[in-house]
A and B are shown apart, each in its own frame.
Chain A
Amino acid sequence: MNHTVIIGLEVHVQLQTKSKIFCGCSADFNPDHPNVQTCPVCLGLPGALPVMNREAFELGVKTALALNCEISSYTKWDRKHYYYPDLPKGFQISQFDLPFSEDGFLEIETNPETGERRRIGIIRAHLEEDAGKNLHDDAGRSDSQVDLNRAGTPLLEIVSQPDMRTAAEATKYLQELRLLLTYLGVSDCNMQEGSLRCDANVNLHIHQDDGHKVPTPIVEVKNLNSFRNVEIALEYEVQRQLEAFKATGIKFGDKGGHKTTRGFDAGTGKTTPQREKEDSADYRYFPDPDLLPVTVTEDYISSVREALPEFPADRRKRFVAAYQLSDYDVQVIVDQGRGFGDYFEEVAKLCGDGKQACNWVTQDILRELKERKLEFSEFPISAPVLGDLLGRITKKKLTTKSAREIFMDLLDGNGASTARIDEIIAAKGLAIVEDTGAIEKVIATVIDKNAKAVADFKAGKQAAVGALIGQVMREVKGADPQKVREMLIAALSQR
């Protein structure tokens, strides 16, 4: 049965502000000490009033601009009502009909082979406050408890158009979004800690013989807390909907074909129905009378725009051009995050060879990070030090082989400075010997000892040179093998 997969994502991003969105409490992640980051405002005590955090608003605008959204000149706050123990006021302050930004897009690579890219539409991005967290005793021995440390932390909800056609595309979109958010520095996007949360709306358009398409019931899949889970859940859901349609023929809008919510169980890899509300939810939205509407001026938007960093997509293009790198290499560098790209660029500039810098950061550094289970931020060799090391290769003062040896030594925990590079070179005698006199002496000795090799060479066997190079190199550590080769051939030719 031919079909098209239709996927849209709703992403909640916790913005990295010092304080919560409507009060002065710390917005830090602090699950070990419940309810310490609270005050009358975020506890929802009688009489307490919210005051908008300008920093949260600015981070929202920054992100919306990076997502190519229109910023509204007038926006307001609305109350969304529902009863739940983690929602202390009985309503969440959110944005309903006038979000601060709308109508943007994010470009993703949809085909890694061809490098084909496509824009995924962004319907809107709006700000709201997070709820607290209910803590249940799974054994059922004690009452459930509520931690309100998280209540009132700023959230940005980014709603995409249903523009994704495969689970892989959805994952790609989420990865690109995460990359952009971390480049902007607006969120740490830690999915385990819940600072990036994803719900997916998915259904299928089943192709009929007469050419028209029949939609299957839309399902909102919740609780997708890793990239892997997004992909597994959506692939499962696509299969499930296809089989359900084959079995029942129920389409969207039919009786029993309304939108439903399903939760993803990472343990089984399956989605299961979540408890349905008896009636469709009526959140009774209305404008929050305790908060003033926000007027956004062109000057304000310009000032936020001017302070935006380079976006990942722009950086990829620039790196390809500036350092003559392949699309693939650039993708690897840029996808590692803003700090990694900055690091690469600094190394490339210092050593004067972008390709070489690229090889080292994408191969040696990534390999070592993986083996040592390190975050990039913990990597011990700074960009100036690696730049210096690679610069010595470019300037032919070190062989690549020696540089690798030094690189490994720098990682041994005894410090990683340019001074230490000098020490290692001295201790191991790794400097390229430019004293041709010394090399000539060794060559003469080696030739004298290897009459057979000389004869072979004379008989036209170029391979004979290789064995001799090795012997010379053993005697003169740090000699440039290319140079030795040239000198050997010259010496042999004169015999």
Chain B
Amino acid sequence: MSLSGATAGELLLRLERGDLTAVEITAGYLDAIAARDGRVQAFLSVNRDEALRQATEIDSRRQRGAPVGKLAGLPVAVKDVICAKGQKTTCASKMLQNFVPPYDAHVITRLRDEDAVLIGRTNMDEFAMGSSTENSAFQVTKNPWNLSHAPGGSSGGSAAAVAAGMSPFSLGSDTGGSIRQPAGFCGVVGIKPTYGRVSRYGLVAFASSLDQIGPFANDVHGAALLLEAIAGRDPRDSTSVDMPVPKYAATVDEPLAGLKIGVAKEHFVAGLNVEVEAAVMAALDVYRKLGAEVKEVSLPHSKYSVAVYYIVCASEASSNLARYDGVHYGHRAESFKDMIDMFCRTRGEGFGAEVKRRIMLGTYALSAGYYDAYYLKALKVRRLIRQDYDEAFKSVDVIVSPSSPTPAFKIGELVDDPLSMYLQDIYTISANLAGLPGIVLPAGFSSSGLPIGLQLQGPAFAEERLLRAARMYERETDWHRRHPELPRG
């Protein structure tokens, strides 16, 4: 049976009606992985036996009439940066190649509580540092729409897995656009929630003040379902916020009357691909037809966002990654002279080039004598970036923009040009710096057949608004119904 292209909502309906079982669904996706992932290489590991065992158990509970969770029987692929007890969590790094966490991340606990089936672990840029998934120590994930193109990153595996029909939804993490940019590249829906909306407990830290876990799905409703399952206060994460979680999936189909859309003039400047710009303009027309008002807004400090981001994220990364020293777990150099030599060799061998680059950048920025000029200054500008948004959201409900300046670039195209790679995140980074939510959804295709993403950003904790606004557009278009031509399982 082909499940390819089925949305999470459709699968749930069929499960509840009884014309599909969790085992059938799980087996179907496992078959799809077996048939397609040899080419896409989205998965680092597939939990075949455990997923089927979990599905069997869920089916038997459903048959008995015992209670089951809200996602009962739906497979979820998880980015390999989120700890799951007993499942290798490598962060696509040689450093953690054999690391098996003894505990579940909060989101994994939530998924288990809702009876989602943990189908496998997806590829990523090492420690979530990158925009192409080429920085994985293990494999290069391909964009399912064109295998010579990158899926984006750092959550490229999770985006490609959904785009290629190998999972109805997946989890990623977004520090500067790592969910939204690959969602745009792969033509799926991705959400970066408000900072504090989803617990980071068990998310291997890259940049703690920016990281958020979020969902990928092949439609807005699916993303709403998964976000609803993972959001909410967790006392183990001091930065998680105690706010009630709205019923996103229940309200997603309700259009917003009198929607005011902001368009930031700073977003439409040199470097923006003409086809991407045209797609965004066309999307604005769709909204206008739905009765929305489109207004220009200004985010004057957004031009500093990439500079601020690379100081903040690198500084925090240099600290967060200090624990990988070869002493207690993870890679340890085989031969060394003394303790210091062991630390140096272990880290020299265990980390890839991009990770080392950022550790060095961050170490420099935090050094005595430089802290005020770099880190402290970056924090000040970061506040100004947030104030820009606060000001803009006084007059509009959401801000619409591209998700990245171009459609998916070719694999290898930017690997030797870190600065161009960093500019991939120019439309997404500000939301992380400001702690605000953003959603990306498919909004067309380039002339070469690559997906184009549309981003909607909102004020803090306005995920419900973003989902409903995104759904208004999705309902009028069929981009999300298109699927890449890949060998079928």
Contact = CB atoms under 8 A, between A and B. Distances in A.
Given A46-B204, A89-B322, A286-B366, A51 B236 contact: yes
A44 B207 CA distance: 16
A477 B295 CA distance: 109
Given A47-B202, A289-B316, A90 B83 contact: no
A292 B205 contact: no
A79 B319 contact: yes
A291 B238 contact: yes
Contact of B201 (A43, A44, A47, A146): A47
A315 interface: no
Contact of A81 (B205, B322, B371): B322
B83 A146 contact: no
A302 to B, nearest CB: 25
Contacts of A45: 83, 101-103, 329
Given A46-B204, A146-B328, A284-B319, A51 B235 contact: yes
Interface in B198-245: 200-205, 207-209, 235-239
Interface residues on B, range: 35 or more
A47 B322 contact: no
Contacts of B208: 289-290
Contacts of A185: none
Contacts of A286: 315, 319, 366, 371, 375
A79 B318 CA distance: 12
Nearest to A40: B103
B327 interface: yes
Interface residues on A, range: 20 to 34
A37 to B, nearest CB: 15
B91 interface: yes
A46 B173 CA distance: 15
B213 to A, nearest CB: 11
Interface string B360-373: 00010011100100
Query: Which of B209, B323, B367 is most buried by chain A, counting CB atoms within 10 A of its CB?
Result: B323
Interface of A: 40, 43-52, 79, 81, 83, 85, 88-91, 146, 282, 284-286, 289-292
Query: Which of B96, B101, B207, B327 is most buried by chain A, counting CB atoms within 10 A of its CB?
Result: B327
Nearest to A52: B238
B323 A88 contact: yes
Given A91-B322, A282-B367, 17 more contacts: A40-B101, A40-B103, A43-B328, A44-B328, A46-B204, A47-B82, A49-B200, A51-B236, A83-B325, A83-B340, A90-B319, A282-B368, A284-B318, A284-B363, A284-B367, A290-B238, A292-B238
A46 B99 contact: yes
B89 A46 contact: yes
A290 B319 CA distance: 12
Nearest to A90: B322
A40 B339 contact: no
15 contacts: A40-B102, A45-B101, A46-B89, A46-B205, A46-B323, A49-B201, A49-B236, A81-B322, A85-B325, A85-B327, A89-B322, A90-B325, A91-B319, A289-B207, A290-B239
A52 B239 CA distance: 12
A9 B323 CA distance: 31
Contacts of A292: 238-239
Interface in B310-357: 315-316, 318-319, 321-325, 327-329, 339-340, 343
Contacts of A49: 200-201, 236-238
Contacts of A85: 325, 327, 339
Interface in B367-406: 367-368, 371, 375
Contacts of B209: 289
Contact of A48 (B201, B239, B321, B327): B201
A490 to B, nearest CB: 84
